[in-house]
Amino acid sequence: MAFSSDENERKKYAIPMYEKRRKTDPITYCTELIRKRFPVVAMLTQMYSLHQRITFVLFLSLAFLLSSFNLASNNEPRVIRVLVALCDNESQGIVPVPKKIGNGNDPANNLYWGCAYGVKTYFTNSSDWEVVQSFKSFPDQILERVVFRHRISGTLLIADAWKGSLITSCTKKYLQILAGTDNDTIRFTRNGNSQTLLPGSANVVAYVGRDGLMDFSLESPPEHNGSTTREAIILACTSKLYFKDVLKTAGAKPLLWTTNLMAPEAYSLKAALDGWIKNESDEQVQQRTAAAYSIYQHCSLSAAQRLIATGF
């Protein structure tokens, strides 16, 4: 910019900041600066009564303590439970798969657990998740449990491989966790520190496997207990039709389920959880999961969007 030779014009554009400050008393200048940059101090200086100042400081202290408490609460990791009913040619009404991957007593080679797109293998191979601990020895129902931790958010995922012949018990346990009536206390160790998850700590509960309710019904499905509404993911054939009533009884919210036959593999589960961890809307989670399913199953996106549903 070209400056005019006029002295006033020169001062308007080029006067150094320190010259402006010299016109003000230093103490007054500093006081005004502090008031502008720190409004709380400005409020205190306007309070002439000692009682007013003490009350205001106590109020600020209480607000700080409450905000610290909320921050600590928000830092508690969210919890995901995943129940996998292992694929089993002998006991489930499925189209038989090769014997090695259809043995419901062998999680290591099972289609829904140990194979490439099984829950354990797929999440173990994911760069987004780390294995915290794996349990090999459990009662007769659960053959293996793996605790995963999301590397960025710290979200915990507890995946259970249920014996394929016990799909009825697995389904009932799934609904109990959703309803808040389970009594599972989960203990594991991370970096040498023992951690405990109390019953009812799950935020999302997922089921992977054969839709057992196509073959049997539950006489007394678990009823909702408490005020917490948990989100449900059901990767099983036509799960919306068969699980609709029992989910309502359990007081759960269907985040993701299906409208037709499907392959209940872990890429769909991971896609859904990726969106949930990012606090996406239910519709965004549904779209994300449908996109993943269409890629891995080589079907059209529109077909996958019709298959993967959310909400009642």
**Region of poorest pLDDT, from 41-55, 70-84, 146-160, 222-236:** 41-55
Q: Which residue has the higher pLDDT, 11 or 99?
A: 99
pLDDT band at 3 (very low <50, low <70, confident <90, very high): very low
Percentage above 70 pLDDT, the chain: 76
Please, which pLDDT band fits residue 21 given cuts at 50, 70 and 90? very low
Q: How confident is the model at residue 140 (pLDDT cuts 50, 70, 90)?
A: confident
The Cα–Cα gap between 128 and 152 comes to 7
**pLDDT reading at 285 higher than 90:** yes
Predicted local distance difference test score (pLDDT) of residue 27 = 60
Q: Which residue has the higher pLDDT, 66 or 129?
A: 129
Please give the structure tokens belonging to residue 256.
């993701």
Q: Which pLDDT score is estimated for 26?
A: 58
Q: Which of 3-12, 218-227, 250-259 has the lowest mean pLDDT?
A: 3-12
**Token couple for 52:** 């007013």
pLDDT of residue 98: 97
The average pLDDT across 223-233 equals 95
For residue 68, the model assigns a pLDDT of 42
In this predicted structure, the answer to whether residue 12 has a pLDDT above a threshold of 50 is no
Q: Could you tell me if 170 and 85 are in contact, meaning their C-beta atoms sit under 8 angstroms apart?
A: yes
Span of 32-46, 181-195, 241-255 with lowest mean pLDDT? 32-46
Instruction: Check: pTM over 0.75? Answer yes or no.
Output: yes
Strand ordering across the sheet containing 231-235: 129-135, 142-150, 156-162, 79-85, 204-208, 231-235, 253-258, 308-309
Q: What is the pLDDT of residue 139?
A: 72
Place of tokens 């990726």: 274
* Lowest-pLDDT range of 56-60, 144-148, 243-247: 56-60
Q: What is the pLDDT of residue 41?
A: 56
Query: Mean of the pLDDT values across residues 254-264?
Result: 98
pLDDT in tens, 85-98: 999 999 999 999 99
How large is the average pLDDT for residues 3-29?
47
3-state secondary structure string across the chain:
CCCCCCHHHHHHHHCCHHHHHHCCCHHHHHHHHHHHHCHHHHHHHCCCCHHHHHHHHHHHHHHHHHHHHHHHHHCCCCEEEEEEECCCCCCCCCCCCCCCCCCCCCHHHCCCCCCCCCHHHHHHCCCCEEEEEEECCCCCCEEEEEEEEECCCCCEEEEEEECHHHHHHHHHHHHHHHHCCCCCCEEEEECCEEEEECCCCCCEEEEECCCHHHCCCCCCCCCCCCCCCCEEEEECCCHHHHHHHHHHHHCCEEEEEECCCCCCCHHHHHHHHHHHHCCCCHHHHHHHHHHHHHHHHCCCHHHHHHHEECCC
* Confidence check: pLDDT of 108 > 70: yes
Residue 59, pLDDT > 80, answer: no
Instruction: Please write the tens of the pLDDT for every residue from 160-195.
Output: 999 999 999 999 999 999 999 999 899 999 999 999
Q: How many CB atoms lie within 10 A of CB 228?
A: 14
Q: Angle, nearest 10°, between helix axes 167-179 and 239-250?
A: 50
Average pLDDT, the chain: 86
| Mean of pLDDT values over 40-51 | 59
Give the model's pLDDT for residue 81: 98
Please report, as a single letter, which amino acid is at residue 194: S
